[in-house]
Amino acid sequence: MSTLLFISKDLLKDFLTNSTTITNWSITLIGASFLSIISTSYYKPEKGKLIYLLLFPAWGFLALSAHKSVELNDIYTSIDFINPLAPDFSEQLKIPGKMINDHYASQVEYFYWGVGILIIWLIAVVLFWIFEKPKSKESII
């Protein structure tokens, strides 16, 4: 973890903005992968149905990533209770600033794990699509 030497409320707001972007991507990926399962017009492998179990940890990591955004928002909101006229205002910002930094790092890490698992799942589906010979036309549609 990096040490925050200078902290301003604007810097912490930037963390929150980036966190919201990651949350939006997490929700989009969860929704898109879920829709790919319930869709009726895509390839469904006959033998490789266990690869769908990879979606559960991916969804879990993406959900944890989105949850970290909620925690970041709560910490950022708590900054409003710090008196900006206090002589040690910048020192008082260091505690929530470090918490935001740590939570943001965790959020990004959870997001990367979720995306990594989704990439493995996608590669497995494509490999089954290439190498598995369908028994009938109904298994393709």
Sequence-distant (6+) residues with CB within 8 A of 19 are: 68, 69, 72, 73, 104, 107
In a domain, 128, yes or no: yes
Q: How far apart are the first and last CA of the chain?
A: 49
The answer to whether residue 41 sits within a structural domain is: no
Indicate the pLDDT class of residue 41, thresholds 50, 70 and 90: low
In a domain, 18, yes or no: yes
Q: Which domain holds residue 72?
A: 12-35+56-139
Answer yes or no: is 120 within a domain. yes
How many domains are there within the chain? 1
Compute the average pLDDT of residues 110-139: 83
- Residue 17 resides in a domain: yes
Nearest-angstrom CA–CA distance, 52 and 124:
10
Kindly state the average pLDDT of the residues 44-65: 87
Nearest CA among 85, 70, 79 for reference residue 7: 79
pLDDT at 136 over 80: no
For residue 93, name the pLDDT band (cuts at 50, 70, 90).
Answer: confident
